[in-house]
Structure 1
Amino acid sequence: MGFLDPNATQFTGTVGDFTYYRLPGIDRIIVRRKGGVSKKRIKKAPEFERTRQNNVEFSGCAKVAAYIHDQLHPVARLADYNVFPPLTAIMKKIQLKCDTGNRGERNIRISRYRFLLEGFQLNRAHPFGGIIRQPLHASIDRERGTATIEIPPLMPGMNLFSPWKASYYRLVFSFGPIQDFMHDPQWDYQRCPYPRSRESAETPWVHLTQPTDRQTITMQLPHAAAEDETLMLAIGIQMGSPEPDGGIWGNAKQGAGMVLRVG
């Protein structure tokens, strides 16, 4: 993989044997040569058996990354880069750590290494910790299926800093289970477990110049956590602007989020 010279004419598309394209989170144009080994040969030839095994396992990790991304809604929509590659990389680490089974059939037991997800940042330009500059205390009760978040008083210019010009903000939360992802001999990793539930919450819109009091947010799932489930709590801050009718509109690409706690 290469990059187009920033001094050259900027464009995307295919020219000859090269394809020029962009990816979220990368501000340069990527250049890739077309061609390589045919798909048919990779799927059938004996010398590509190891490649097929790796591809199957990688597809499983990618599916789990998408599954986690879905569980992070609505906080995930505040991301400012493509979070799938780093999430997939975390799942691959878990897959290699927790299962020594046959290559191409190894499980992804997230519950054994769930701590790797805690603190996962959804933003690079303006991380959540640079906006609310004070630790947030949160706890998860697996037996009760609850999450509790303690939000300290937020004071602009002291522990609340916004890099955007929007005049309003609110906090958003998501809370839900992530199941371990097991290989199926018949379906490989095609059958991703559907989330049993997902809860979301948000605080009222607040003007950026207005201090707030301490808040306690409690989120409740309709069931306790199963042994093969990891409970994931995410938090985000979303910026907004007033509308002519007096409402507040959430601004696109203005906000930040992170995985606050897993349990």
Structure 2
Amino acid sequence: MARQKSFIKLEGELGGILFYQTKDGFVARQKTGVSGDKIKSDPRFARTRENNAEFKRGAQGAKLIRSAFRDIAAGIADKRITSRLIREAVKIVKSDPVSLRGERNMLEGDQELLTGFEFNVDGTLASTFYVIFEASLDRVTGQATIDIPAFNPQKMMLIPEGTTHFRFLAAASTVDFENSRFRSARVASAELAVNRDVAALQLNAAFTPDANEQTVFVAFGIEFLQLVNGQHYPLINGNFNAMAFVLIDKPQA
């Protein structure tokens, strides 16, 4: 690697030399690497092609899941959720115990590896809500249920400054990885005051009748609010809002 000493600083490629800027200044180096055509055809890059194919399936699966929960996660998901979700989805692809290497996929992989996945690492559900709740799913009735016992918000929640109220959110989505489709339903509790005890409550999200053939993902979260002149407004700083996958149910083969 060589430093550019000319008063004219170059960026780009010229004559097989790459010119670019780093934190140490403008540098130049000879272009190296393997052509895309060679990677696609050379037997020596078979493993590379396999890894690329499986990464692509993981990325596609992550995009499908992200789309299924995009609506309910608005104002909660952090800026790195896409890259984090892809990383976990690739792990699911690689957990496929039946397909050949390079052909492993989300459908056959262990999708339950996403259980506990946090939509917002800056405000996780575990560090925000300390109450032990129960998540369950009934494929016969088509109901995903979150049961929350009575609790005192002041003692059992991490409440951001400026919060007057909060609400619970839940969503269930049937995800069809084979056909790249999903169907989602969401539900929210009433606005609950942070300075009053909360009675036991239940959230029910209905999922689609054909779910017996698909994996059902269930997410649960909290959104913090501020009451101003009779209107509940989401806090401008959404870093404390939290949501996670609390139940993932894959149909039995």
Same fold (TM over 0.5): yes
C-alpha displacement of 1:226: 2.6
Question: % of aligned pairs identical?
Answer: 23
Q: Does 1:66 align with 2:57?
A: no
For residue 231 of structure 2, what is the amino acid of its counterpart? G
Q: 1:115 to 1:107 in 2, by over 3 A?
A: closer
Q: Does 1:249 align with 2:252?
A: no
- 1:104 corresponds in structure 2 to 102
Please show how residues 3-42 of structure 1 align to structure 2 within 5 Å.
16-18=19-21, 36-37=32-33, 40-41=36-37
Instruction: Look up the SS of the partner of 1:61 in the other structure.
Output: helix
Q: 1:38 to 1:160 in 2, by over 3 A?
A: same
- 2:246 corresponds in structure 1 to 260
Pairing partner for 1:151 from 132, 138, 148: 148
Q: Distance in 2 between matches of 1:17 and 1:34?
A: 11
- 1:237 corresponds in structure 2 to 222
Q: Distance in 2 between matches of 1:214 and 1:163?
A: 22
C-alpha displacement of 1:213: 1.0
C-alpha displacement of 1:139: 0.7
Please show how residues 208-227 of structure 1 align to structure 2 within 5 Å.
208-227=194-213
Provide the alpha-carbon RMSD of the alignment: 2.9
Q: 1:224 to 1:100 in 2, by over 3 A?
A: closer
- 1:202 corresponds in structure 2 to 188
Query: Is this contact kept in 1: 2:73–2:243, CA < 8 A?
Result: yes
Query: Is this contact kept in 2: 1:132–1:160, CA < 8 A?
Result: yes
Please show how residues 180-195 of structure 1 align to structure 2 within 5 Å.
180-181=177-178, 193-195=180-182
Instruction: Look up the SS of the partner of 2:70 in the other structure.
Output: coil
For residue 251 of structure 1, what is the amino acid of its counterpart? L
Query: Is this contact kept in 2: 1:81–1:122, CA < 8 A?
Result: no
- 1:83 corresponds in structure 2 to 81
> Which structure has the larger Rg over C-alpha atoms?
2
Query: Is this contact kept in 2: 1:19–1:34, CA < 8 A?
Result: no
Query: Is this contact kept in 2: 1:133–1:159, CA < 8 A?
Result: yes
Q: 1:107 to 1:156 in 2, by over 3 A?
A: closer
Query: Is this contact kept in 1: 2:115–2:246, CA < 8 A?
Result: yes
Extract unaligned runs of 5+ from structure 2: 1-10, 13-18, 24-28
More helix by share: 2
Q: 1:53 to 1:208 in 2, by over 3 A?
A: same
C-alpha displacement of 1:238: 0.7
